[in-house]
Structure 1
């Protein structure tokens, strides 16, 4: 028994990779803001979504991981093999715009939180964070960046701890989590679209597949022919990695909604304008320590999410236009790849300094992602079922069905948002 447990633990530790980082990046400041708004406005009404989105998100990320593993290409590289170039360009331009706005709102949210901790004007932090993240990404190798991102995952523990500190009626929590409460107004449907869009988000699709390619390059498989195909063990390791990463992501989502529901919503504080306001509102209700944990989580996860957002756009453009790509490349050897990364980050910093409302921007970015994602998922389903592109290793039927369910659910929520 002990030997079997030890063996499984070793497999889990060996499997830690892109799936953990991608899952954690999903709880970026955009996600935190969206989940906070859901909890503040609707209490625990949408708590059940955390249970539903875990298997759906896991299936989507596993499918993207398999595409990267068995084809040796990122998502854009595979879409280019199957679909017209104009369609791919529409996708990547929409991704760049959504990601830039998302980064801007993330920077604003992080800076607000940092100002709350330090008392220093948030504009200094907006510029400082952007320069620090861009500089580190350009200078450091992929392996060092990946290792840093893995450690940043730990900041997400702030949210379950905060939820435990504030206290809750766990019987009522269980009922809200297990009995779905469907939206009945346009505003509530848009909230559901935002939750789906920030949880099953397009930039994560591109990042997951491209990260698999980077992992293989780190193993010395620099040629496309060397990267094609994957062993059963490699696929199983990534399944564990993605499963754990997405579970943790949705666990954090659950506790953020719960924390704001039992504090802000319960005391009538349903209107949140800034991430700093969300954290500050927790202080008199949950204590200074809980509010500080919430704030530190916002800053820490921003450092995790922004390289993922900018990097996914850079990978998408590089694969579409055939540029040299990768965080393992130097700036001199992959100028166009890094140019997209820097344009997204710099453009986001300028938007952030323009004084956008971070919570509104984060929320509506999540809505845009929720409307864009199902169209992209249709193309991913087609790629994943193509035995030629997938080297005779297409996604298993159960995975394909779950991703199809996620696609239908996102289409349905988007339609309901406009029709109800």
Structure 2
């Protein structure tokens, strides 16, 4: 057990990425709107995350390459290869730019709660993320993000326990799925905020920073399982804590902060602000980092966090996020849109991943029948939800 926890690492950055402002916002709205009834969607999201992230991490460990490197090397047809590279770069850049705007907006929510609205707040959050990324040291990033995630998690888990929820109702929400038309976007948002597409690329690249031997696969798996479960528990705790707001409108940062009142009372606003600033910064680091890894692999650059081309990519994504967070959109709307965009992008990335883990590059580490069935189920569910959402938005349903 001691050895397992010593090897916890890369997947904590995955958890740091999905426990961001999007998670806090979507989970709070879910709890306030529907109580415990959508907890099952978080269980589904956790299972899907573990399945997909394990496959991505396994690819990274066994091949020693990132997902985009592998895709580029696996396709022999030049036109198809170029098309796939354009698709990956475009999808990840657009998705990460939207996600980054949500991350920056989340940090801004915290600053607004503490000091009121100011034009420079998106830039301030962006500068914090910029400084940490410029360090260019994986171990420093890992430790900072773990500390920030722990800071966020403790508060919401404490609240979820303190409000003394109806545990039978919680269990029913966890294991008795319900599905109504007006819950569709929230369900997709819960999946999109947990199974983050760019995390697949990030995880495959980061395992190489910690492990090099095939025999370390068991630690990679434990790292993934433990980190995702702990992250999912935090998300569920936010939903449970927010159930106390049921029937109330969530329109402003102060509305979100009310979910912490059962434990922190008059200090709830300050604690919430600190937590969501931490959430914004953690995710504001991982989204640009993942985009840079994708472009690096697609274009065949050398793997180096301090490479100027690598830095230019994450600077572009970070700058885009700051720009969109600064031009007047309401933070909660930006965050919600980012999560739905992630949910729509996920099936594309899941299909690419499923194809890769069944190629000969993994030799004896290829997917078995059970893993393929589980992964295919995840793809089908995300395709169904994504299709329903597009149809709903288009006014077809």
Deviations along 1:177-221, whole A, 9 cap, x unmatched?
221112x21x321221111111111111111011112334xxxxx
Q: How far has the Cα of 1:242 moved from its partner?
A: 0.4
Q: How far has the Cα of 1:272 moved from its partner?
A: 2.2
The CA distance in 2 between the partners of 1:370 and 1:290, in whole Å, is: 31
The CA distance in 2 between the partners of 1:282 and 1:204, in whole Å, is: 29
The CA distance in 2 between the partners of 1:131 and 1:293, in whole Å, is: 22
Higher alpha-carbon deviation: 287-296 or 307-316: 287-296
Match of 1:191 in 2: 186
The CA distance in 1 between the partners of 2:300 and 2:21, in whole Å, is: 32
* Counterpart pick for 1:346 among 293, 316, 319: 319
Unaligned runs of 5+ in 2: 76-80
Tell me, what secondary structure is at the counterpart of 1:355?
coil
The size of the alignment, in residue pairs, is 386
**C-alpha contact 2:61 2:214 (8 A) present in aligned 1:** no
The CA distance in 2 between the partners of 1:112 and 1:48, in whole Å, is: 28
Tell me, what secondary structure is at the counterpart of 1:413?
helix
Q: How far has the Cα of 1:57 moved from its partner?
A: 1.0
* Counterpart pick for 1:148 among 144, 147, 153: 144
Q: How far has the Cα of 1:139 moved from its partner?
A: 2.6
**C-alpha contact 1:55 1:402 (8 A) present in aligned 2:** no
Higher alpha-carbon deviation: 316-325 or 83-92: 83-92
TM-score calculated relative to the size of structure 2: 0.91
Match of 1:255 in 2: 237
The CA distance in 1 between the partners of 2:174 and 2:334, in whole Å, is: 28
Q: How far has the Cα of 1:120 moved from its partner?
A: 5.0
Match of 1:302 in 2: 280
* Counterpart pick for 1:34 among 5, 10, 26: 26
The CA distance in 1 between the partners of 2:385 and 2:269, in whole Å, is: 33
Q: How far has the Cα of 1:22 moved from its partner?
A: 0.9
Q: How far has the Cα of 1:286 moved from its partner?
A: 7.3
Distance 1:273 1:15, change over 3 A: same
Deviations along 1:252-277, whole A, 9 cap, x unmatched?
1111111112x211xx21x3234443
Q: How far has the Cα of 1:358 moved from its partner?
A: 1.4
Match of 1:264 in 2: 245
Tell me, what secondary structure is at the counterpart of 1:366?
helix
* Counterpart pick for 1:126 among 100, 122, 125: 122
**C-alpha contact 2:156 2:260 (8 A) present in aligned 1:** no
Match of 1:200 in 2: 195
The CA distance in 2 between the partners of 1:376 and 1:35, in whole Å, is: 24
Deviations along 1:77-113, whole A, 9 cap, x unmatched?
1111234221231222121122122212221221221
* Counterpart pick for 1:409 among 375, 381, 395: 381
The CA distance in 1 between the partners of 2:195 and 2:236, in whole Å, is: 15
Q: How far has the Cα of 1:159 moved from its partner?
A: 1.3
**C-alpha contact 1:163 1:255 (8 A) present in aligned 2:** yes
The CA distance in 2 between the partners of 1:258 and 1:378, in whole Å, is: 33
TM-score calculated relative to the size of structure 1: 0.86
Counterpart mapping for 1:60-139 below 5 A: 60-83=52-75, 84-117=81-114, 119=115, 121-139=117-135
The CA distance in 2 between the partners of 1:167 and 1:403, in whole Å, is: 36
Tell me, what secondary structure is at the counterpart of 1:167?
coil
**C-alpha contact 2:288 2:318 (8 A) present in aligned 1:** yes
Match of 2:8 in 1: 16
**C-alpha contact 1:378 1:407 (8 A) present in aligned 2:** yes
1:314 corresponds to 2:309: no
Taking only aligned residues, the RMSD between alpha carbons, in angstroms, comes to 2.1
The CA distance in 2 between the partners of 1:397 and 1:294, in whole Å, is: 44
Distance 1:165 1:293, change over 3 A: farther
Q: How far has the Cα of 1:75 moved from its partner?
A: 1.0
Match of 2:358 in 1: 385
Q: How far has the Cα of 1:239 moved from its partner?
A: 0.7
Deviations along 1:136-165, whole A, 9 cap, x unmatched?
211342222222222222122221112223
Q: How far has the Cα of 1:297 moved from its partner?
A: 2.0
* Counterpart pick for 1:287 among 265, 269, 272: 265
**C-alpha contact 1:166 1:290 (8 A) present in aligned 2:** no
Q: How far has the Cα of 1:76 moved from its partner?
A: 0.7
Q: How far has the Cα of 1:345 moved from its partner?
A: 0.9
The CA distance in 1 between the partners of 2:369 and 2:253, in whole Å, is: 41
Higher alpha-carbon deviation: 17-26 or 71-80: 17-26
1:240 corresponds to 2:240: no
* Counterpart pick for 2:210 among 211, 215, 221: 215
